[in-house]
Amino acid sequence: MIMIMLGAQGTGKGTVAGLISEKIGIPQISTGDIFRKNINEKTPLGIEADKYISKGNLVPDDITVPMVEEVLSSEEAKNGAILDGFPRTIEQAEKLDKILEAKGKKVDMVINLVTPKEELIDRMLTRRVCSNQNCKTIYNIKLHPPIKEGVCDKCGALLKQREDDSDPEAIKRRLEIYEEKTSPLVEYYKNKGVLKSETVSISINRMGKDVAKEIVETLK
């Protein structure tokens, strides 16, 4: 199964994808995690990607698409994958369709998460992530804090704030880019009949874990 997570930054795509991955046994592939790992390790890909990410801009297709194609061709993804952070434009969606078609696969489900804008900004400013690259569990110091402040519940590693989550202006820029470039994907996948939109907001007491649970139930 090929599943795609849509939604602006801060909606909880990574959390929902991780929970579904755990339950149905296909890998979560986060382009953001791949980029951050390469940036931290100062690889050629990381250095190039950081030029765009640090300014809140999208990484160009000639960097992103081959990276995703390589991961989808790996042994890890032979039974499917949950794509988190890709595609982000119609052009990327069309390229993904061609990549999957060549493998005899297709996009089976697209989960679109929707959250009010002001809530998104606050969520990103208060988001923390495990510094252990093999764990990467996500927390929120307001909504989902760790048991011990600054320490991951799962592995005991220190939590950190992503560099691109610390600047309110960069966050607003990312949300503007999402509206401009990525939101048209909602119509694209709606027309293909594979879209499932879900509201995630503290105002209605519905969080990512609730969405993930319902999705897993529908797949049984």
Q: Which of 36, 123, 136, 174 is catalytic?
A: 174
CA distance 62 to 125: 30
* 127 annotated active-site: yes
- 44-53 vs 61-72: helix axis angle to the nearest 10? 130
* 154 annotated active-site: no
Q: Which of 88, 95, 123, 128 is catalytic?
A: 88
- Helices marked H in 143-206: 168-177, 184-191
Asked whether 194 and 5 are in contact (CB, 8 A), the reply is no
CA distance 140 to 216: 23
Asked whether 164 and 56 are in contact (CB, 8 A), the reply is yes
b vs e for 79-117, b when ≥16 Cβ sit within 10 Å of the residue's Cβ? eebbbbbbbbbeebbebbbebbeeeebebebbbbbebee
Q: Which of 36, 95, 123, 127 is catalytic?
A: 127
Q: Which of 23, 37, 162, 181 is catalytic?
A: 162
Contacts by 44-53, CB closer than 8 A, 24 or more apart: 53/164
Q: Which of 13, 36, 95, 128 is catalytic?
A: 13
Sheet of 159-160: strand order equals: 138-140, 127-130, 159-160
State the DSSP H helix or E strand holding residue 113, giving kind and residue range, or none if neither. strand 109-114
* 162 annotated active-site: yes
* 160 annotated active-site: no
**Residues noted as catalytic:** 13, 88, 127, 162, 174
